[in-house]
Structure 1
């Protein structure tokens, strides 16, 4: 099932509607998520009819901004779970493929309210164990390489968004084609480009959707370009959870000890059995090392603040120890995030 996401900047524009028809009808797109529709439900229904889709769900515009809509070709394949002015969450049921979850997402454009976007993503991540895909205009970048031109993007926005993606166990899919999806003042000295539109998926989702590619369509009647998630192959069996080795574990001496202990204790076992033994132990132990970076950083900073106030020699020594621990957690977090910056695991 292929998916298209686009910040169309208003379905009331005839050029936008024609552009949408040209993208959808010849290519047989299955699901379309639109944000900034700037219209009411009646207009979305007209567009749905024009492109030949069976169903749609929309959240009306508030004032002169916002509005989101999800349209899909076959009515029985999609069911609504929840929605807000910033998201539409559905379950996708396709014959021959395991059920999965799709969330069309529109990030809060006001930077002062951006934490609302992050908190909403965290909340949604806790509501289901289904394989999950989030697609749309997230209105945030994950690294400074996602921006070209203009002033440097605020570090707190990059950091906050990155932490949210880690907390939600999401992976940012590689974008094929042009690197940026939003442009301002093109061709002038104030030319700025950002990658605001993206697809975020869980590893479980990648495990059942093979040969999936995210494309930047590059041409648009809006200042945002559409992104297209092409799903070429899926598998039905989702019961087998694949083990993934975390590079961040290599920073921990305990990782080496676990491997040596279980390798030595199974000297007479087959090579494959040794690997499985190490795998099971690393998986249990690794949950305490990765996936809770935010809490570990918070705890270190709290202890450092307390020790700094005491100002005695022992406290200063302990403060330095905590500083080293904090630096180590930050390094592990960077390694963890770098490993997830690729669509496929190495």
Structure 2
């Protein structure tokens, strides 16, 4: 079981929704928490597109805010409270029982840090069951969580650290990218920070001892999505029946292949010719899908390797890999529309 948290900075653009569908396919989260900048009507639309069963949304206030929670099944998730800074809910897990999850969006203004810390303290007092928080806290606990720009005030790092300790919480650490937010990439003003994280109390840590937070390689916003995997189980894909992919229509070879199977099928029945077409299309079309998936992995790996490079060539190569990656997402848009209900 895995959970996704991402400050996506808006879902109005089709490219952002494509990216969300791609990471849903890649990580198979059961629960998704987003800071969206999106209206509730758009959240409902996205819920259907990514194939989730239920959602809870906090509407945009002015030019900021907007939160969304998506989950897979009708049962098992109960929203307890929500506001412009969090969605607090309980999960009734079949194997381990009840536990609590809070998706967090911290105040971006430094002047409101104390309000954010008191908010966490207030949430901590509401329940004693196993609890984890994950999201964009807009806060840091150490100087090495920032690269570039002005030094983060020590008083703010100390205040956040003390809040975590007083609430009986522990940082869940991370695998992958060191920083989760950046601005001005490739310029002299380039700044990177670790603003997104997962926290949990001791009860939750004991419930999920193998849990790990994974940081993604690329993002459509200035924040990278983070994934909370509750265990290290590998989920195997189901064996699917033949399906004609609409994306094949865009390939010139598709028409020739069908024509060849049909015309060279001899005196066989229509069913025989259809079976022959299915076999040939799976062999040919499956290769196209595999090539596309392999290239997505290739460009993700390139971005992971190049992301920390600050020289001009490294930045250029990272940007080139990123645009190739986004182009592939656009190419498979038709494929995702056909597959959306399966996830």
Q: TM-score, normalised by structure 1?
A: 0.66
| Residue equivalent to 1:20 | 20
1:39 aligns with 2:38: yes
CA distance in structure 2 between the partners assigned to 1:192 and 1:10 by the alignment:
21
- Is 1:212 matched with 2:208? no
Shift of 1:28: 2.0
Aligned partner of 2:29 in structure 1 is: 29
- Cα separation, 1, equivalents of 2:230 and 2:85: 25
Matched residue pairs, number?
A: 233
1: distance between equivalents of 2:10 and 2:51? 20
Separation in structure 1 between the aligned mates of residue 93 and residue 41 of structure 2, nearest angstrom? 28
Map of 1:126 onto structure 2: 125
Aligned-pair Cα RMSD in Å:
1.2
What does residue 53 of structure 2 align with? 54
Give, in angstroms, the shift of residue 154 of structure 1.
Answer: 1.2
Output the CA distance in 2 between the equivalents of 1:192 and 1:75: 41
How big is the shift at 1:105? 0.3
Work out whether 1:171 is the aligned partner of 2:162: no
CA distance in 1, matches of 2:174, 2:185: 21
State the Cα distance separating 1:74 from its structure 2 match.
Answer: 1.2
Q: Does 2:158 correspond to 1:153?
A: no
C-alpha displacement of 1:27? 3.1
The runs of 4+ residues in structure 1 deviating greater than 3 Å are: none
State the Cα deviation string for residues 216-266 of structure 1 (Å, max 9, x = none).
0121011100000111179xxxxxxxxxxxxxxxxxxxxxxxxxxxxxxxx
RCO higher in structure (CA 8 A, sep ≥6): 2
Distance 2:95 2:185 in 1: 45
Structure 1 residue 176, shift from structure 2 partner: 0.5
Change (3 A) 1:146 1:26: closer
Q: Residue 223 of structure 2 aligns with which residue? A: 224
5 Å-filtered alignment, 1:258-297, equals: none
Mapped to 1, the partners of 2:13 and 2:111 lie a distance apart of 30
Q: Give me the whole-angstrom Cα distance separating, in 2, the residues matched to 1:26 and 1:77.
A: 23
The equivalent residue for 1:115 is 114
Shift of 1:123: 0.2
The offset of 1:77, in angstroms, is 1.4
In 2: Cα distance, 1:25 partner to 1:44 partner: 18
Alpha-carbon offset, residue 12 of structure 1? 0.7
Question: Structure 1 residues 233 and 182, CA, compared in 2 at 3 Å: closer, same or farther?
Answer: closer
- Unaligned runs of at least 5 residues, structure 2: 234-343
Cα distance in 2 for residues equivalent to 1:54 and 1:201: 27
**Which residue of 1 is the match for residue 137 of structure 2?**
138
* Equivalent-residue separation in structure 1 for 2:187 and 2:89 (angstroms): 41
SS at 1:93 equivalent? strand
What stretches of structure 1 of length at least 5 have no aligned partner?
235-346
- Once the 2 structures are TM-superposed, how far is the Cα of residue 41 of structure 1 from its aligned partner? 1.0
The C-alpha deviation readout for 1:25-52, integer Å capped at 9, x for no partner, is: 35321000001x1121111010000011
TM-score (norm 2): 0.66
